[in-house]
Structures are given as structure tokens and as C-alpha cells.
Amino acid sequence: MPLTNVQARDVEALLHPYTPLHRLAETGPLVLDHGKGVCVYDTQGREYIEGMSGLWCAGLGFGDEELIEAAKEQLSRLPYYHLFGGKGMEPAIELAEKLKEIAPMPVSKVFYTSSGSEANDTQVKLAWYYNNARGKPQKKKIISRIKAYHGVTLMTASLTGLPANHRDFDLPLAGVLHTDCPQHYRFAEPGESEAEFVARITASLEALIAREGADTIAAFIAEPVMGAGGVIVPPAGYYERVQEILAANDILFIDDEVINGFGRTGNWWGCQTMGFTPDTLSCAKQLTAAYAPLGAVLIPDAVYDAFVEQSRKIGTFGHGFTYGGHPLGCAIGVKAIDIYQKRDIVGRVRALAPQFAARLARLDDHPLVGNTRAKGLVGGVELVADKATRRAFDPGKGVGAACARACEAHGLILRALGDTIAICPPMIIAAEELDALFDRLERALDDTE
């Protein structure tokens, strides 16, 4: 089909992130105009169920009047200020107080960023700074996992364990180590039980630490349920053992809650669903329900105390972003948390999770589907060339992308992560809307070749 005028202008003017650029002019961009509830509408007026909450972030859907009002009120009162040099403002304080209250571990201070990448990048700088402050300048390496996604800055793209983020960007940077991905379906040895798999990959983590030397490793970063790497739910017992290993080796556990946080997995935090307690935590995305960009790092006492000591020696704490703690994002964040609490969003996710899991499991019988997985209201459908052997499609074939395009033709937006289709609907979705989402996905799968 020839491109519409707005599509042609888009192709002419924009470099699109995470997009097969060589095909864009032919497939045409999907240009959205407005949204309401769980749906968005393109410039032709076509409706789509937004089954991904945008990029796992618009958890309260589109057009929420309370969030819009909070934004208007803050923009007219104080549209911008910052926190540098000890300045302050009410929304930044109030949001930090709320985050400390709902955090899954004791938190001393909240540091704001504009995004999830900046939050995780900050985590690495803080871990380095902390170890310098406590006289351990060799303790700097960071362990991440194969298939992890932690962002796109130089360091967070290095932590990310996906080939497209490294190849031809000259990454990863030195000092980043990748350990096993905790996905049983893809990485278990033939006949290996989940318990045996966990024992093997955690022993491999221990061996990596021993080989490198615990005194060279600052932190381990993990996303509880891995999102962009393919919606991977690690088996029972995995995080328990990881946590023991990290504690025994004086390695900080950085919890990346950028997708998992604020109810997505059926608890406030993914670490609560998966059963571990981190040392520090990054959040973003649903922190503001995506009505404005904002990220946050939650810092424990021991780390903060070391920073105060450094500040005494150096004269300042030398890190901060112009838009970290932007009043618009903070005011919206305060309102978003208020809505999560008063509308009992965690309760809603738990109530919808059985229906979500059951509809997902129904797809297991489809000839293209090798594996489905879900936790709370996030799920993945892995498409394979051969169900029996679990053989993947040739990546160049683009089967996942073809399925996502078929979804669009049926009025549904989902995201292809390679050949895994991710589903992450707004947490306000109604039971009938969830059924409609899966009905459309089933039709799209039938149309996928």
C-alpha cells in the first residue's frame, strides 16, 4: 500500500529506535494520534488495543483525567526546577517519601533520573563510588545476565545481554561480565529438571565470582521477571541461591524494577513476587504511568553514609541530571502511586492473572508456539520452527515481526522480541478487553507464516 502523507513525512524525518530501518519505507510506520483507556487510535481513526502499555509503561492506560489534572496543576505552579546544590520542591519530596514507604527494603534516600537507562547507569557509578569510599578500589566489575535488558547508555547497553545492543557498537565495555540466563525452556540441558538447572547455573555464577575474585566485583544486576529479553520467569529457588552467593561475597544486588515495579507481576515489586530482597533498586516507566519521563534509584543507608563521607573529602557529590526530579514527573508520580493504592491495582492484577494465564496457555496448542509464560499481567509467547525439538526460526526470517504486523492488522499492538511476542496490557484492562486482546492474537497467529 502506498504511504499516507503523514507516514511519508515520518519516514523522511525520523530515525526510529529499535526498528528494521531497511524495511520501514515499505511496511510504513504506524502513526498514532490519540488514546483512551486501553486503546490507541491511528491517524486514519483505526482502533488498536494497546497490549504492551506502550513500552511496558502506560500501566494506567490513556487519557486518565486524574493524571492529566495533576500535570496541569504542576505545570501552572512550577513547571521546572532542579535539586542541584540543595534546592528542593514539594513534589520531589512527596514522591521520595512515598517510594520509601512502599519500597521492598529499607531505603535511606531517593535519587532521581529521567529514564530507566539513567537509573541503571547511576547504579553502576554509585557502586563504584561506594567501593572507592570504603577503600576497595579494585571492587568494580558488574555481573549481568545473558538476555538481560538494562538500557542503552554505554554502560547499560553493556549490561544488556542481547547481541543487537553490542554488535557494531563496540560494546560491551570492559569490566562487565555476563552469567547464565535463567530460562529453563531455552537453556536447560536435555532431561535437566528445573531444580538441577538452578543448581547448575548458580554454581556457574559462583565459579565466575571465584575465577574473577570477589574483591574485583562490585555488583550483580537483575530484573526479577526479565522483560525485553523475552519475558523470562526464572525457576523457583534461583533468586534465593543467587542472593546467598552475593551476600557471601560482599556483592551488591541491584534490582532493576523498571518494568516489574508498581504492580505488574501481582505485587508492588517483582522482587517480592520472585522472593528476594535487593540492596538497591531502579524504577521508571510505571513510576509515572508514562505520563512523563522519570526514573529513580532507591539507596540504602550504608551506601548513602559512604557518600556523605566522600562529600566531606571531595566537597560535593558529583552526579546529577538537569531533569532528574523534574516537578512534572514527580507530581504525576505522586498521583500515579495514589491511584495504584486507591484503585487497588495490585489486587486487580492478581484478580486478572488467572484469566491472563489461562488464555495464554490456550496458545500452547498452536503449531507455531513453542512455549508460553506469564506472571501477573506480563506474558510471552515464543514462536518456534519445530515444537518437538524447540528449534528456533532463522532470525533473518522475522517471524516474530510478521506476527506483530498481523496483530496490527487485527487491531492489536504487541511487541516482537525476536520471535517471542510480549504481552503487557494496561493494568486497568477489563476482563472482556483482555478476552478481546487474546481473540485478536489468536487470529493474528493463524495469519502468521
Query: Contact positions toward ligand PLP, by CB under 6 A?
Result: 55, 115-117, 120, 149-151, 223, 227-228, 256, 258-259, 284
Nearer to ligand PLP, 95 or 259 (CB): 259
Residue of closest CB approach to ligand PLP: 116
The set of cell numbers assigned to 8 is: 511519508
Nearer to ligand PLP, 327 or 329 (CB): 329
Q: Residues 110, 221, 322, 290: is their CA dihedral positive or negative?
A: negative
Least Å from the CB of residue 447 to ligand PLP = 28
Nearer to ligand PLP, 160 or 448 (CB): 160
Q: Which of 225, 69, 39 is nearest to 145 (CA)?
A: 225
Nearer to ligand PLP, 162 or 199 (CB): 162
Pairing of strands 32-36, 420-423: unpaired
Q: Which of 49, 51, 44, 12 is nearest to 30 (CA)?
A: 44
The set of cell numbers assigned to 271 is: 522482587
Least Å from the CB of residue 298 to ligand PLP = 14
CA distance 336 to 331: 9
Pairing of strands 378-383, 280-283: unpaired
Least Å from the CB of residue 348 to ligand PLP = 22
Cβ atoms within 10 Å, residue 223: 26
Least Å from the CB of residue 126 to ligand PLP = 16
Pairing of strands 295-299, 109-113: antiparallel
Cβ atoms within 10 Å, residue 281: 28
Interaxial angle between packed helices 399-409 and 431-447, expressed in degrees from 0 to 180 and rounded to the nearest 10: 120
Least Å from the CB of residue 293 to ligand PLP = 7
CA distance 29 to 37: 23
Nearer to ligand PLP, 151 or 300 (CB): 151
The set of cell numbers assigned to 340 is: 495504584
Amino acid, single-letter form, for residue 21: L
Nearer to ligand PLP, 7 or 120 (CB): 120
Nearer to ligand PLP, 7 or 113 (CB): 113
Least Å from the CB of residue 162 to ligand PLP = 11
Least Å from the CB of residue 174 to ligand PLP = 21
Least Å from the CB of residue 215 to ligand PLP = 28
Is the Cβ–Cβ distance between 65 and 300 less than 8 Å? no
Least Å from the CB of residue 231 to ligand PLP = 11
Q: Which residues touch 354 (CB under 8 Å, ≥6 apart)?
A: none
Nearer to ligand PLP, 291 or 393 (CB): 291
Least Å from the CB of residue 60 to ligand PLP = 17
Least Å from the CB of residue 403 to ligand PLP = 20
Region class of 226: left (phi > 0), else alpha (psi between -120 and 50), else beta: beta
* Three-state SS sequence of 95-162: HHHHHHHHCCCCCCEEEEECCHHHHHHHHHHHHHHHHHHCCCCCCCEEEEECCCCCCCCHHHHHHCCC
Nearer to ligand PLP, 131 or 286 (CB): 286
CA distance 349 to 137: 44
Nearer to ligand PLP, 113 or 202 (CB): 113
The total number of residues written for the chain in this structure: 449
Nearer to ligand PLP, 32 or 55 (CB): 55
